Amino acid sequence: MTTTSAAATGVAGGTERVIGYSRAINEALAEEMRRDERVWMMGQDIGRLGGVFGLTRGLLDEFGPLRVRDTAINETFIVGGAAGAALAGTIPVVELQFADFLFTAADEIFHKLAKWRYMHGGQFTMPVVVRLPSGVVGGAGAEHSQSLETIAMHVAGLKVAVPATPSDAKGLLKAAIRDPDPVLFFEHKGLYRVKGPVPESDEHVVPFGSARVARPGNDLTVVATGLMVDRAVAAAEQLAPHGIDVEVIDPRTLVPLDIDTIVASVERTHRLMVVHEASRTAGFGAEIATQVQERAFFALDAPVWRVCGTDTPLPQDPELEQACIPSTDEIVAAARALAAI
């Protein structure tokens, strides 16, 4: 687990507790529902069961069945209904059981959430959060394991959060719920059990569009998100004794994207590698690489490299599945080669 310093989380002073990523999300939901009566939730099995991943445990008891609503298996209603409920003055926070199901509710996500405000001349806001358990978790298969954040990034009108630590999961979710725009909130399933320090405050809100330096360094910039942040930091620790000082940057949100922090880092390190679990082709790594060469071409001493998921569906077998996403060893090897160019 990341040894996140207080400085890295942006918290000056104040007390912290070590809690899990799941617990952090649960607390964010409960605190925001206590703070604002307009906030409510719906999704499959979120009430009586507390969610298939246990994220909403206890919320039905505290907030009752009208604010924590179990739906039928109806993703278009969960998202489209949230859009309609937002127009009537509420703040829906909905859960799709797996991020992959954003395709099941694609019209509602990419058309209704993303464009309603725009199409109607700015007369409405669309304060909806869609929580999306994302990524590889071990044998969930090709339709329950994808990292689809780039697709969300490509359609204008959606904000995209990809928290990698308990602190960011909590702070970004609170920011998402307070945001008047629709947010796709990609929670990494592989991080749910990970623990880390979280500031002890109801007002721990992490602003969108501000990257976090997960590990400072001088020789090579690695941009990573989600599960890949810890792997990149672990790779950096392995490389340090060999004289390669890697800076790891976690953008935390892809829309808006804090490209300034990435460019400033590359201007110091002169080398950039992007690591993501999502498939390689047209992933967000391609976008970051392009933006960096547009803005800092002459700062680069080497090509921008990507270490990414394979351009294949994900096999169901947990071992094969791991072979489809970047490992710490692969990140180490690629960083070593890139630093040598």
Partner 1 sequence: MTNDPGPDREQVQREVYRKVVTIRFAELRIREHVEKEGFGGFWHPGIGQEGLQVGAVSAMQDDDYLYYAHRGLGYAFAKGMPLEPLFGDLLGRANGSTRGKGGGTVHFADASRHVLGQGGTLGSNFVMGAGTAAASQLLRDGRVTVVFFGDGASGRGTWHEAALQASVWKLPVVWICENNGWALSARFTEQSPTEHVADRAPAYGMPGVVVDGQDAMAVHDATAEAIDRARRGEGPTLIEAKTLRIRGHYEGDRQPYRDDPVLGDEIPNDPVHRLGESIPDDVRRGIDAEARSQVEQAFGAALAAPRADRSVIFEDVWA
H helices present in 49-195, as ranges: 59-63, 75-87, 106, 114-119, 149-154, 166-178
Q: How far apart are CA 252 and CA 206, in angstroms?
A: 9
Contact pick of 66, 241, 243, 319 for partner 1 (by CB under 8 A) = 66
Residue 89 beta carbon to partner 1: minimum distance, rounded to whole angstroms: 6
Q: Helix, strand, or coil here: 222?
A: strand
Question: 3-state DSSP helix/strand/coil percent for the chain, to nearest 5?
Answer: 40, 20, 40
> What dihedral angle (degrees, nearest 10) is formed by the CA atoms of 21, 27, 29, 32?
-140
Contact pick of 50, 51, 92, 199 for partner 1 (by CB under 8 A) = 92
H helices present in 3-67, as ranges: 6-9, 21-35, 59-63
Contact pick of 36, 61, 62, 107 for partner 1 (by CB under 8 A) = 107
Residue 57 beta carbon to partner 1: minimum distance, rounded to whole angstroms: 22
110-132 burial, b at 16+ Cβ within 10 Å, e below that, comes to: bebbbbbbeeeeeeeebbbbbbb
When the beta carbons of 128 and 222 are compared against partner 1, the nearer one is 128
Which has the closest alpha carbon to 266: 298, 228, 244, 240? 298
Q: How far apart are CA 127 and CA 179, in angstroms?
A: 6
**Which residues does residue 160 pair with via DSSP β-bridges, in sequence order?**
184, 255
Asked if 62 interacts with partner 1 (CB under 8 A), we say no
Residue 179 beta carbon to partner 1: minimum distance, rounded to whole angstroms: 8
Asked if 103 interacts with partner 1 (CB under 8 A), we say no
Contact pick of 46, 87, 220, 249 for partner 1 (by CB under 8 A) = 87
Site mask for partner 1 (CB under 8 A), range 164-193, x = bound = ---------------xxx------------
Site mask for partner 1 (CB under 8 A), range 108-127, x = bound = x--xx---xxxxxxxxxxx-
When the beta carbons of 17 and 115 are compared against partner 1, the nearer one is 115
Q: Helix, strand, or coil here: 204?
A: coil
Site size toward partner 1 (CB under 8 A) is: 45
Q: Is 188 a catalytic residue?
A: no
Asked if 85 interacts with partner 1 (CB under 8 A), we say yes
Return the range that interacts with partner 1 (CB under 8 A); candidates 24-32, 73-81, 140-148, 277-285.
73-81
Residue 219 beta carbon to partner 1: minimum distance, rounded to whole angstroms: 37
Catalytic residues, by residue number, are 144
